[in-house]
Amino acid sequence: MMEDMAFADYDYEFAQDEEGEDYLDYYDEDVYELPVGESWEEEEEETNMSTGASMSELYEYCVVPTVSDSSQHLYSLLAWSLIFLLTTRIVRPPAWLVHLMSATCGGIVTWGMFGHRCSYMVCLLAVGGLVLSLSHFVLKSRRGPFTCVSCVAFLIACELWLADPVDWHSIRGPQMIILMKVVSVGFDLDSSSLSRLPNILEMVGYILNPGTVIFGPWISFSSYKRVLQPFSWNLRLVLGVIIHLITCMIFLLLSTCFALWMVPDSINKWAQAFRDAFSFRSSHYFVSYLSVTSAQLSGLDIREVARPAYIEIPRSLVEVVVYWNMPMHYWLKTYIFKTARNWFGIFWAILFTYSMSSLFHGLNFQLAAVLLSLGFYTYVEHSLRVKLASIFDACVLARPCPEKCHHQYKKWSWIGIFINISFSVLAMVHLAYLGIMFDSNSQEQETGYSLSHTLKIV
């Protein structure tokens, strides 16, 4: 990513990648796990309604408590994001004051969410910043890899020895965002996308920006620096924030209240699997739209994080991993996969990327199993569909062909429709199978799922 490409960070209309880059993404529960303390989790369990409840009971005992409780927890995040926007864009303060306000507002939000657990985040920031600075001034090369290895080593040390399991699990998401931001600065310095190492105030303002510090999404340092530019006030911004906020609450209610209410436990296991997987995906969409809302309220130019339509009715698993979390897909593709591909080749670079993603999440067998399964599935699917497209001369690749492609049979031909629908159904089945591993009723949810728990569900 070069300096003149700063505005391309959120251009996610990726073309068909013949080198396998579209295999990459997180199936990321931890980054999008709601880090709000035990009281909310307990209240959500109490408000999950059985399928025998009437609509009025569902509204009274689930919808109202869920909206009320979530509003209380999210008020601080949205309020401080807006405060940062108003205090730095109505007037034009000096750059150092903008970074200071970003760090202050983000610090207040983080402390309100996590309390003393913020100390882990401070330690990760200190480790990453120190290694980044030393590698920049002493080694003057490979700043990205050295920073990445150091941050992952710190996460593993906390996982095994330094942190309380419950406390650590509750802040894995923000820790992931910090790691991604620090590491991306190192790689951008290596590629000369950044001309200089950001100073301490710039780095802290970037990492603790209130719009991205809790739920993300990841943004590059170049994207963050746009907060220093004049801001365009318009009605479209206000409507966008309102629409995203309403959408995120709809997905929260679907996940918490309506999924279980609409699909009873008395039906067959596959229907329950689809229901539970949809509930899990809805919670992810909730946080995705919430992250867009908070980022836009803080003045960042974030358009979208996930595309639910492409996930619920997928063309392929390759598209699912691309549109599940687009900023993270871009991060993994840019900073991990492309680097590993130069060393190992495409196939091993894919496995390395998913393995690194697993390490970013900590020593969690469940997430590692899902990530590596997705890596294997998407590689096989991509390769198979390339061969089918060649044999039948049809538009049946994992990613859609451009409008003017060389294939004889287009996507609306009978062979194109048949093959694409077949793979779509197969992708839905895979999503249901992988989604049920995230069992929200398990006691292990607070500390991460073990090998025995995951194999028992499988």
Locate 43 and state its tokens. Answer: 């209240």
CB 23 within 8 A of CB 15: no
Considering the candidates 99, 329, 361, 430, report the single residue annotated as catalytic.
361
Nearest Cα residue to 215 out of 252, 259, 175, 156 = 175
Q: Round to whole Å and give the CA distance between 137 and 199.
A: 13
d(CA 112, CA 75): 11
Amino acid letter at 430? H
Between CA 24 and CA 336 the distance in angstroms is 10
d(CA 253, CA 262): 12
CA angle (122, 123, 127) in 5-degree steps: 120
DSSP letters spanning 304-357: -S--HHHHHS-S-HHHHHHHHSHHHHHHIIIIIIHHHHHHH-HHHHHHHHHHHH
8 A C-beta contact, residue 47 and residue 256: yes
Backbone angles phi, psi at 33, to 5 degrees: -75, 140
Half-sphere exposure of 5 (CA within 13 A, CB side): 12
Any catalytic annotation for residue 73? no
Active site residues: 361
